[in-house]
Amino acid sequence: MNPQTLARLTGMLFLVTYITSIPAFFVFYAPVLHDPGYITGAGPDTSVLVGAFLELLLIIANIGTAIALFPVLKRQNEVLALGFVTARIVESAFIAVGILSLVTVVTLRQEAAGADAASLTLMGQALVALHNWTFLLGPGFVVGVGNGLILGYLMYRTGLVPRPMAMLGLIAGALLCASGIAVLFGALEQGGVAQSIASLPEFFWELALGIYLTFYGFRRSVLVSEPVRTTANELAAAA
């Protein structure tokens, strides 16, 4: 495919990750995440199921961004390009486990009528805790490695996007990984002010990348010079 077509596809998929993930977490999952008695009450199950559906679309978009970029990024470093694809898949696996934990809460609420309320509440809280851990280890850590450090480095080396933007990705990835580790070991509160501030650069890096690739594509000067470099490398290898 034309590299510019891949660029715009990648940009749109990055924007889809925002359209799906933000409403799912902050709106549709809110009843089950913030109400300890959700599992024993008359909770809005449809809201949680809509959130699960949006996150399924998020998984598709996540993996799609990596697949679309791989043919272009592997020209710079095939190992790191494959590492980016792997990181996206691992992140999506964490998200999938989080989805399963919350839809299980919905199933228990619907089908465990008559069970001990205290036991159900404890089980529901355990499943929500599982979701919180998947959110920390996936979007809160693996994203920093894949989307931040690996993708930021590859974009910086290739020059496919402006280098200051790519530098933001490197900084964002380092901050997200550091804050994720701090939360893991109890130095920071999950979802607290410090972690939220540390996550902002990653938020703006991916948003800026999505907008730039959607409307501008890859930098044309880099794409024009790429065939020249490739031909020179092939001639040198043949010699």
- Residue 170: which domain range? 3-238
Residue 26 burial (CB count, 10 A): 11
Residue 90: pLDDT over 50: yes
- Rounded to an integer, the average pLDDT of 134-153 is 97
pLDDT confidence bin for 115, thresholds 50/70/90: confident
- Burial of residue 215 (CB within 10 Å: 0-12, 13-18, 19+) is exposed
Residue 160: pLDDT over 70: yes
Residue 238: pLDDT over 50: no
- Rounded to an integer, the average pLDDT of 132-155 is 97
Residues 6+ apart with CB under 8 A from 148: 169, 170, 172, 173, 174, 176, 177, 202, 205
Domain count, the chain: 1
Tens digit of each residue's pLDDT (9 = 90 or more) over 23-46: 999 999 999 999 988 998 877 899
Q: What does pLDDT average to over the chain?
A: 91
14, 66, 176, 186 from 70: Cα distances, Å: 15, 6, 23, 36
Contact between 184 and 144 under an 8 Å Cβ cutoff? The reply is no
Contact between 169 and 145 under an 8 Å Cβ cutoff? The reply is no
Strand, coil or helix: 191: coil
Residue 17: pLDDT over 70: yes
Question: For the chain, what percent of residues have pLDDT higher than 90?
Answer: 82
Residues 6+ apart with CB under 8 A from 136: 180, 183, 184, 190
Give the chain's length: 239
Residue 230 has a pLDDT of 47
- Rounded to an integer, the average pLDDT of 67-87 is 96
Tens digit of each residue's pLDDT (9 = 90 or more) over 40-71: 887 789 999 999 999 999 999 999 999 999 99
- Rounded to an integer, the average pLDDT of 177-204 is 96
Residue 131 has a pLDDT of 97
Residue 239: pLDDT over 60: no
- What CA–CA distance (Å, rounded) separates 104 from 80? 36
Contact between 194 and 188 under an 8 Å Cβ cutoff? The reply is yes
Tens digit of each residue's pLDDT (9 = 90 or more) over 170-190: 999 999 999 999 999 999 999
124's tokens: 């529901």
Residues 6+ apart with CB under 8 A from 142: 87, 90, 91, 94
- What CA–CA distance (Å, rounded) separates 105 from 162? 45
